[in-house]
Structure 1
Amino acid sequence: MPTQLEMALDTMLRIFHQYSCKEGDRFKLSKGELKMLLQELTDFLSLQKVPQIDKIMLDLDANKDNKVDFNEFVIMVAALTVACNHYFVEQLKKK
């Protein structure tokens, strides 16, 4: 039986590839694919829609190929996780 961490990693891999195979290069996210993927976070981040997709794409696309590869995607996931943890810790400090 896989551990929770193993399941989380598997989920992250599957989600990336679920979206990256929709158009063009099946191993990279286009801007449209990235936007669709980020819409899965709208409830979590309390957003009505994905803001400034062009800026997000520009920030993530380290090699400037107008696509987000898995390494660039993982950087986004890590940054979101750190931000969420910071928020969680701050909320606990208020209690």
Structure 2
Amino acid sequence: MASQLESAMEGLISVFHSYSGKEGDKYKLSKKELKELLQSELGCFLESQKDAEAVDKIMHDLDENGDGEVDFSEFVVLVAALTVACNAFFWEKQP
């Protein structure tokens, strides 16, 4: 039986690959795939963004190598940053 952290890691990998490769490189997210992932998996995050160009900004910030796509390593940076940002909020909710 997998630990809670192992299950979280497996989920992260699974989510990334369920969106990557629908068009182009199967190991990277195109802008369209990234937008679909963000809307489906982090919809509340995007709803709170008033900027209609949020996906463009996220894509630009994540795409470290400038290839116009987001690979798994670049995606993990987003998840880690969001997790850090949410840590205090969720930790305060703990009984």
Report the TM range for the smaller structure's normalisation. 0.7 to 0.9
Q: What secondary structure is seen at the aligned counterpart in 2 of 1:11?
A: helix
Gaps of 5+ in 1: none
Runs of 4+ in 1 over 6 A off after TM superposition: none
State the 1:33 CA deviation: 0.2
Q: Which has the higher contact order (CA 8 A, sep 6+)?
A: 2
State the 1:87 CA deviation: 2.7
How many residue pairs end up in the alignment? 90
Q: What secondary structure is seen at the aligned counterpart in 1 of 2:5?
A: helix
Counterpart residue number, 1:10: 10
Q: Deviations over 1:57-91 (max 9, x none)?
A: 000000000000000000000000000003335x4
**Partners of 1:48 and 1:85 in 2: how far apart?**
17
TM-score, normalising length: structure 2: 0.84
Identity of aligned residues (%): 56
Gaps of 5+ in 2: none
Counterpart residue number, 2:72: 70
TM-score, normalising length: structure 1: 0.84
- Alpha-carbon RMSD across the aligned residues, in angstroms, is 2.0
